[in-house]
Structure 1
């Protein structure tokens, strides 16, 4: 009987990997402890947004000064603004928060017990905490953003300084700081940027431990090869290759990074595409041209570059290279783009692409599959799972939602025999609801063979034909029986006892699992027998 897999090897590991891009770092020489506030980023890109629901990438990591082992990792709903170690107690005060974009400054005061890892949110209501400073063992000075910017044009330049006193901060409970303790006049406040200093400190700490530090984030795609190499696409890297020995073979850099990996039909190269977001240039927003490239597996050389003219997602399952445009602002219907030795050709009309409704990357496809809406003016409605036949025509297979009263968002998928297994989420006006995420297996005539409901949206899915592996944004990895959908096992992903989250996964030809994480690492997992 197959049991929960163990992490056999970790590629791309490094100090402070768990916190992503650092925003703030504080070193406490008394306890020989380091606190880092950082951000792993979102789990949405231009080609897929469903997995971002109920996700936060903000992290507080607590590390041992000697050896840099991560002792605690805490998720935060908001960016980290301030950190302060208690002068005596094993306690870390953390100020978090952000402007909500339209009215309020929200956040928390978190108190982290360094001996147990327990976390308390001490404020009575959400409030951005810009600064924390221990004045003594009993007094904590807070700098708070205004509650909102309603009729206050200077709200983004002001703060409220208060001092909160407790005889024992180690026993402060949730929400126990009273609202009247937070009242004070507004005064000018400069919101400092500590990120450059944080990078310098982490670089020095890593060097003192004989290691190198650099930021790796979000492995969006991972693949295994027949000869045991591991391929990955991640932030800042169009594609990279790791040898069976564990050494990095080659890297193709990119300003944003790769998002998909699709093996080419020649068996010696892989297709990948790059994210492209607008950046502030000289007085205006600038966006780099789209990048779709075929990379040689043995050398990392770019053999071929396509120029689709618009951002696209790769659609696997055809001898040709198939691209689907990411819906722009053009009025004309969107078509698939087909590239072969004779050059580009227009494919069938597939309608506008919506980042939540139309993601449908299928692993092990026998032919290309896409989601296509039946209403040209509202292509997100009444979507059908549609196959692209060899002659380039579309053939509707079955409605994407098997429940007439539910609107289903798209997600990762895989083909098993004469069926498709895919994950997604059910739309609800108040956000994702309990049981609103699903994995379903359906025959190609639309019959539902089984379904599995969950509380968190899937980030990745693959199968070896016997087991369906589903990763979600809570950090869980679930193995479902491919025949009946029953849960074989479920585990919370960890590296050296510290939680992480899978953003991509693949069953390697050798049978083990490859998992790309949000913190830039690649896990090689071997099922225990």
Structure 2
């Protein structure tokens, strides 16, 4: 909230879920805020917040988490809302994912936490039509053309990697792979694709890159459908596709430092074989399948740079989302070796999600530094995101850095660990003890940006791919004794 005139900040409130709607009370200094989103797998979670515009105090009014899509004050006592259904199974019963209700009270100025209890008297209403991105893009293109401006659509740089000569390769929405020189403002070459460039890995020969693409999920017959992924081997110097593998399933790529790589089936349904991995090379025609168990939607991917082994997360046979272990797969015979549990605190026995990481060596010996989250049904709680250093291959805890937001990318060198978060923050930690050396929020021309990917360059620089399609080259410095320590 800002004061008019000089726009000085008066109050700042954070939310666990994205904000969908805001409605100011017609007579009282109150604002109702609807938040929430579909979690991608089952539930539509969120909150109805009531913000006191005078004190800055916020109350969460719903007894149970629920996505709030629309809110309107009909009068000083009546709040009209559209809520999402609680979970997927309700869609078949209601024929929609949107339910309307009205709540009438005369005590909005004395709100208390969780004061609104079910039932809310909800009635089904049609879902709002989805925004067509192509239509929005056409409007912007015409606006720019009328003014003699050039506008190029760029969104979501999901992966970046680097070459010793300073070139940067990137995968993003609508682009399988593109290559940039540090001295030229246009890409050296670009390979457009009907889909999203999700991963890129430069192989040790430094002339070939693996690029994985995925078409966006489609909602058909009341369920989400995900098409198979496509993996390309690309000649970096020529900007040409050498080989193209049209897979039979959606996938992620895992690699190790010597260039061996594997494809993991990421379908999380009950199909026989879902979750298998296949260790591949450029000459493999029919690689053998490795039974790793079912893949999970949120808490499975384990993307570790510079790893000496092919590393995966593997859950229990009966409930694959529980009891995650870090495992390695032998590239020769496909055997699986269990290394250590993802959860290092036996007393907590938490439900941990995996994340990105890097393999390190140094004074304390070989280690993995990786990110993740402790799952909680109320959304990501404060301090439940983390960066952790574990001895390799035994998994003993060496240090933990706690965070409030999900890490999106991590890279490291012999001295420092660089971590980007979806809050827009970049944090530099000492590799040996996890102490904070520097932290800052990324901005371009004074505007915040959200980092999605990152790679360390030479000479104290990072390349950062952002949600709005930028590739930033950032100079970083690490000064001792700045900030907090790891725990």
Equivalent of 2:189 in 250, 253, 262: 250
Tell me what 1:63 maps to. none
Decide whether aligned partners of structure 1 residues 429 and 123 sit closer, same or farther in structure 2, where only a CA change above 3 A counts.
Answer: closer
1:284 deviates by: 9.9
For 1:122 and 1:205, locate their aligned partners in 2 and report how far apart those are by CA, in whole Å.
Answer: 42
Q: Does 1:219 find its partner at 2:157? A: yes
SS in 2 for 1:256: strand
In the alignment, does 2:363 pair up with 1:421?
Answer: no
2:203 is aligned to 264
Shift of 1:322: 1.2
What does 1:112-151 align with in structure 2 at a 5 Å threshold? Answer: 128-129=69-70, 145=81
Residue equivalent to 1:384: 325
Instruction: State how 1:43-62 maps to structure 2 within 5 Å.
Output: none
SS at match of 2:194: strand
Shift of 1:390: 4.7
Cα separation, 2, equivalents of 1:143 and 1:202? 35
CA distance in 2, matches of 1:174, 1:524: 50
| 2:267 matches 1:323 | no
Q: Tell me what 2:175 maps to.
A: 237
By how many angstroms is 1:445 displaced? 4.1
1:430 alignment partner, one of 362, 375, 378: 378
Q: 1:519 aligns with which of 459, 468, 476?
A: 468
Q: 2-side partners of 1:504 and 1:104: how far apart?
A: 27
Q: Tell me how far 1:201 sits from its aligned partner.
A: 4.6
Alignment: residue pair count: 430
Query: Residue 99 of structure 1 contacts residue 106 of structure 1 at CA under 8 Å; is this kept in 2?
Result: no
Closer, same or farther in 2 for the Cα pair 1:109/1:518, shift >3 Å? farther
For 1:466 and 1:509, the matched residues in 2 are separated by 14
2:353 is matched with 409
- Alpha-carbon distance between aligned partners in 2 of 1:308 and 1:265, rounded to the nearest angstrom: 24
Residue 379 of structure 1: CA displacement? 2.9
Measure, in 2, the Cα distance between the counterparts of 1:389 and 1:527.
37
Of 462, 466, 470 in structure 1, the residue corresponding to residue 419 of structure 2 is 470
Answer whether contact 1:95 1:129 (CA < 8 A) is retained.
no
Query: 1:501 — aligned with what?
Result: 450
Alpha-carbon distance in structure 1 between the residues aligned to 2:22 and 2:254: 44
Distance 2:94 2:248 in 1: 45
- 2:300 counterpart of 1:358: yes
What do you get for the CA RMSD once the two structures are aligned? 4.9
CA distance in 1 between partners of 2:406 and 2:46 (Å)? 28
User: Are the aligned partners of 2:83 and 2:100 in contact in 1 as well (CA < 8 Å)?
Assistant: no
CA contact (8 A) 1:106 1:128 kept: no
1:392-442 CA-partner distances (Å, limit 9, x unpaired): 433332222211133321110101122111111112343332221111112
> Could you give the per-residue CA deviations for residues 334-375 of structure 1, whole angstroms, max 9, x where no partner exists?
3434334242321543222213232110112223212223x3
Q: What runs of 5+ residues in structure 2 fail to find an aligned partner?
A: 1-13, 24-30, 103-108, 112-121, 479-487
* Higher relative contact order structure (alpha carbons within 8 Å, sequence separation ≥ 6): 1
1:513 CA displacement: 0.3
Q: Is the 8 A contact 1:336 1:350 kept in 2?
A: no
Residues 373-392 of structure 1 show CA distances to partners (whole Å, capped at 9, x for unaligned) of 3x322233332222233534
In structure 1, distance between residues paired with 2:95 and 2:271: 38
Q: Secondary structure at the match of 1:480?
A: strand
1:514/1:523 contact within 8 Å kept: yes
Contact 1:108 1:129 in 2 (8 A): no
- The aligned counterpart of 1:295 is 234
Q: CA 1:128 to 1:248, structure 2 compared with 1: closer, same or farther past 3 Å?
A: same
User: Aligned to 1:503, what secondary structure does the other structure show?
Assistant: strand
8 A contact 2:84–2:99 mirrored in 1: no
Indicate the residue corresponding to 1:444 in structure 2: 392
**Once the two structures are superposed, what CA deviation does each residue of 1:179-220 show, in whole Å capped at 9, x if it has no partner?**
xxxxxxx9xx99986956754553344446643334422211
Match of 2:9 in 1: none
Q: Offset of 1:257 from its aligned partner?
A: 0.8
* Cα distance, 1:365–1:510 mapped onto 2, change above 3 Å: farther
Counterpart CA distance in 2 for 1:503 and 1:156 is 31
Q: Counterparts of 1:49-128 in structure 2 under 5 Å?
A: 128=69
Contact 1:338 1:347 in 2 (8 A): no
CA distance in 2, matches of 1:97, 1:467: 37
Q: Which residue of 1 aligns with 2:483?
A: none
Deviation at 1:251, TM superposition (A): 2.0
Contact 1:145–1:155 (CA under 8 A) maintained in structure 2: no
